[in-house]
Amino acid sequence: MTPRPASATARIDLHTHSTASDGTLGPAELVRAAAKAGLDVLAITDHDTTAGWEPAVRALPPGLTLVRGAELSCRWYGTDPAVPLHLLAYLFDPADPDLVAELARVRLAREVRGERIVELLRADGIDVNWSEILAGAGGGTVGRPHIAQALIRAGLVATTTEAFGPNWLGERYRLPKDDIDVFRAIRLVRAAGGVTVFAHPRATRRGRIVPDELIVELAAAGLAGLEADHEDHSPAERAHVRGLAAELGLLVTGSSDFHGTHKTVQLGAHTTDPEAYERIVAAASGVTELASG
C-alpha cells in the first residue's frame, strides 16, 4: 500500500498514548476518539512498546491514517546526574531484534522501579498494592501514572498532577530507571528503518533540559526533528525550538501528547504541518505501509 499523502489542510497529531502504556483509552478507543476529534492522521506512541499497534489497526475508522510509533525512554549521560529525555520513534520495524531487546529491557526496568516505589510507599504506611497497580496497567508498560492512580483511589491525592508533586512521585518517592543512551536509541531506530523526533525538548516545567549543543550532536547522529508545539512548552520555548530546527535543517512537529483523563490536553490540541509529516514518511523504511481506514 502506498502511504496516502496528507492534504494541505490535514489535521495531524503525532504523539498520543493508549492503555498499552499510561493512557486511559484502549488503542481501539483511541483511534475512534481521534476520528471523532476530526483528525486525519494519528500516531500511537506508547512508552517503550508497540503493543497497541495491532488493536489500533484493527479498529481504524474510515478516513483516519495511523502512524505506528513509540516514545522511547532515553538519557543523556554527558552530565552528572544524567538528564532523562524522550524520543518519538516512528515507522520502525517492530521485529528488529536489537530494538526489540532494548525496549524489553527498558519495560522491565520500569516495572522494577515501580515495585520499588510501592515498597517505599508501604514502608511509610501508605496503603497501595503492587498487584492492583499491575492489574490496573492491564498488561501495558507500567509507569508512575499507574501508581498515581492508586494514590488517587486511596484518597491521598486528588489528581495526577498532585501525585507527581514533590511530596509524592515527583521527588520524595521518585526513583531513577535504566533508560536508553540517547545516541544508542537513535542508532537503533535508524537501523530498524525508523525516524526519531525529540519530544518536548525545551519543556523546562518538566525539569532539567539538555543544552542546544547536545541537540546539534543528536542531529549529526541522525535525529530527524524536534517537537515544538506541545502543551508543556511556553510560547518562547516553542519559538526557540523552531529557530533551532531551522538552523539544523530538522523537521518540526506539534502534538497533543494525549493521555486521556490523566491529562487535560485533548486530541488535536497541537498538530503537525503536513509537510513535516510527509518528510517523516519519506525518511522511513521500517514500516513501509501506513494503516489507513
Other beta carbons within 10 Å of 138: 11
Judge whether residue 140 has pLDDT over 90.
no
Look at residue 3 in the predicted model and tell me its pLDDT: 46
Decide: helix, strand or coil at residue 70: strand
Judge whether residue 1 has pLDDT over 60.
no
Judge whether residue 281 has pLDDT over 80.
yes
pTM: 0.90
Q: Count Cα neighbours of 217 within 13 Å in the Cβ-side half-sphere.
A: 10
75-84 pLDDT, tens per residue?
999 999 999 9
Look at residue 289 in the predicted model and tell me its pLDDT: 65
For CA atoms 110, 113, 117, 118, the dihedral sign is positive
The CATH number of 12-104+177-292 is 3.20.20.140
pLDDT confidence band for 107 (50 / 70 / 90): very high
Look at residue 2 in the predicted model and tell me its pLDDT: 40
2-51 pLDDT, tens per residue?
445 577 789 999 999 999 999 999 999 999 999 999 999 999 999 999 99
202-253 pLDDT, tens per residue?
999 888 999 999 999 999 999 999 999 999 999 999 999 999 999 999 999 9
Instruction: Please report, for the chain, the start and end positions of each structural domain, with discontinuous segments joined by +.
Output: 12-104+177-292
